Amino acid sequence: MRDYTKFYIGGQWVEPAAPNPIDVINPATEAVAGRINLGSAADVDRAVAAAKAAFPAFSRTSVKERIELLGAIAGEYQKRYNDMAAAITEEMGAPAWLSNQAQAALGIGHIGTAIEVLKNYKFDELKGTTLITKEPIGVCAFITPWNWPINQIACKVAPALAVGCTMVLKPSEIAPFSAYIWTEILAAAGVPAGVFNLVNGDGLGVGAALSGHPDVDMVSFTGSTRAGIAVAKNAADTVKRVAQELGGKSPNIVLPDADLVKAVTGGVQSVMMNSGQSCNAPTRMLVPREKMAEAAAIAKQAAEATTVGDPNGNSAMGPVVSETQWNKIQGLIETGIAEGATLVAGGPGRPEGLDSGYYVKPTIFADVTSDMTIAREEIFGPVLAMLSYDSEEQAIAIGNDTVYGLAAYVQGEPEHARQVARQLRAGQVNINQAGFDLMAPFGGYKQSGNGREWGDHGFADFLEIKAIIGFGEAQAAE
């Protein structure tokens, strides 16, 4: 059992101000996998003070020094790669293959991307005699989720380090193991004391203290829209910058000229990956009305081919992260049935043969309408809602008919798909199941948040812009 009860503050592993231990549950077995302490405002004060003290020196380091530091982190990450992947599987139930090929891989991917961006990033630009310079914003607070735990940590920490910020991280208390290993990696890589700090805790005890702290200059939050609103309200009193990556209910428009089998099968597989626990999952599939029956049959076959079981085995899908999440998903599946959607595959309860663990059946609903709960609420589980449309204009309107705007998907003849993609109000649109692009900005429209992460766009939220007027004249006088 993992004992991760200390916090990392000022370059040291320290005891919490007041011990408040909780168990961390392995969602595949429902057994206790480890223990952490929940922090308090007193722990946040210590961590923020350490970050504030470290900022003047670290913010003045050279680009070369920060590239070398990020390179050292990448080297230490590689040494702990297998440990990281195993921790993610244990803490949140991702299948081992997914933890190795995607979850852990994204962590080191963001470090490498930050290095490449930093090599050519222009912090200074002379316009006439005015110097426009970009400077690190200061002390950053990071509040990260459990569903892609190291991805969300790395895509904040790597660019923040790259530009010279210091920081305090509060990872999810549900899946904290990977954050602990990440912290060990940074310590081993020689990150200066106080530059990176870790305080475990929940939203009320640590998240609120961080987002409202007067010495925190910006807060970057990834999680539900409900929690993101609370963070923004709490941060408003100190007028700090708030970057948010929140919920989604992403449309997947299957155009009439798409390869129906490929489009529907790929769409189902995308929803089921990570047990449906991805904020950008294509959970609303829009198909031409005349093709609904055929598409539903294809989706049923794809769902029933999705194996569910022990994440350390060969299953395509493991459990969802917690009993709370399992109960929420079950309630929404029951709501879908009660509101009249056609249950094509899956349904309530655990898959056959799995009597323990938070496993959910891969579930498909057809004949869903936009007013149904399952078409509007983010389920965050392996549940696909299939809606029909009569015209392209209607498909686009249905796709945009959501309070969210994190992602959207289009399947069809490439030029046709490009035309539709331009009309969808989402921060990222994927055409024909294209793969990851670590340089593509990630973030949402509307209630899916503000700001962008990943690649060169991921630097912006960690920088202030200063205009030094007359800089060119002063330089010429020298």
* Residues with catalytic function: 245, 279
3-state DSSP of 314-334: CCCECCCCCHHHHHHHHHHHH
> Do 117 and 454 contact (CB within 8 A), yes or no?
no
Q: Cβ contacts of residue 429 below 8 Å, gap of 6+?
A: 407, 408, 409, 410, 421
Q: Round to the nearest angstrom and report the end-to-end CA distance of the chain.
A: 64
- Please, are residues 40 and 16 in contact by the beta-carbon 8 Å criterion? yes
The sign of the dihedral angle between the CA atoms of 155, 158, 164, 166 is: positive
CB contact at 8 A, 179 and 198: yes
**Which residues face 287 on adjacent strands?**
388
Q: Give the 3-state secondary structure of the chain.
A: CEEECCEEECCEEECCCCCCEEEEECCCCCCEEEEEECCCHHHHHHHHHHHHHHHHHHHCCCHHHHHHHHHHHHHHHHHCHHHHHHHHHHHHCCCHHHHHHHHHHHHHHHHHHHHHHHHHCCCEEEECCEEEEEEECCEEEEECCCCCHHHHHHHHHHHHHHHCCEEEEECCCCCCHHHHHHHHHHHHHCCCCCCEEECCCCHHHHHHHHHCCCCCCEEEEECCHHHHHHHHHHHHCCCCEEEEECCCCCEEEECCCCCHHHHHHHHHHHHHHHHHCCCCCCCEEEEEHHHHHHHHHHHHHHHHCCCECCCCCCCCECCCCCHHHHHHHHHHHHHHHHCCCEEEECCCCCCCCCCCCCCCCCEEEEEECCCCHHHHCCCCCCEEEEEEECCHHHHHHHHHCCCCCCEEEEECCHHHHHHHHCCCCCCEEEECCCCCCCCCCECCCHHHEECCECCHHHHHHHEEEEEECCHHHHHHHC
